[in-house]
Amino acid sequence: MTSDLFSDQPGEPIREIITEGAVVLRGFALANEQALLQAIDEVSQQAPFRHMRTPGGHAMSAAMSACGHVGWVTDQRGYRYQAEDPESGSPWPAMPGVFRRLAAEAAEDAGYPGFEPDACLINRYQRGAKMGLHQDRDERDFSQPIVSVSLGLPMVFQFGGRKRSDRPLKVPLTHGDVVVWGGPSRLNYHGVLTLKTGHHPLTGPYRYNLTFRRAL
């Protein structure tokens, strides 16, 4: 990976460029870790974590919840964004303020001012959970970036190219790291390697990932 560190001023975030359009902001979410975890707790009380099924009928190994105007869902009928939680039939919980602000600040920092996400998918990984290489293309406007926040146990992110066959880079992500993906990297294949057993002081056996998107 081309690792461009330019934290030349004190208090500047450490940015690593993974590829054109994809920036890791190391530790960007640390200042808000407690508020973010508390908000995950509140959202998941209203929209409990569940293992959704792919259209092929396989249960996803990451448990998911969501908040915002729409949530990403998968079932026998396919992948889509919808306004109601299919488990309850109720609207998804509103996006907590700390989520919206963090996503907008990270996007701005990475060169995407004015990001207003309408969907936040919350993935919860436990030991053995992974996410195979895929593209995110259920959103309407690919000129909008995606912001991803990692909390809890560390994991290895796989970042591929525009074709599934492009050999992926491995990028370790730890608690508090935020990644912004946009522009030329928006449709790149990506995935998460199997989570190893561990214990994190704030999240116990879990890794959480918040994925902020402009879906509509």
Residue 175: name its binding partner from ligand MD3, Fe ion, none (Cβ under 5 to 8 Å by kind): none
Q: Which is nearer to Fe ion, 14 or 60 (CB)?
A: 60
Is residue 190 within the footprint of ligand MD3 (CB under 6 A)? yes
| AA identity, residue 199 | H
Site for ligand MD3 in 31-90 (CB under 6 A): none
| CB-based contact 69:83 (threshold 8 Å) | yes
Is position 79 annotated in a ligand binding site? yes
Is position 188 annotated in a ligand binding site? no
DSSP string for 128-169: T--EEEE----SS-TTS-EEEEEEES-EEEEE--SSTTSPPE
Is position 2 annotated in a ligand binding site? no
Site for Fe ion in 110-169 (CB under 5 A): 136
From residue 40, alpha-carbon distances to 8, 47, 64, 96, 183 in Å are: 33, 10, 11, 9, 28
Q: Which is nearer to ligand MD3, 105 or 177 (CB)?
A: 177
Q: Which is nearer to ligand MD3, 23 or 179 (CB)?
A: 179
User: Would you call 188 helix, strand, or coil by DSSP?
Assistant: coil
Residues that bind ligand MD3 (CB under 6 A): 121, 123, 131, 136, 146, 148, 179, 181, 185-186, 188, 190, 192, 209, 211
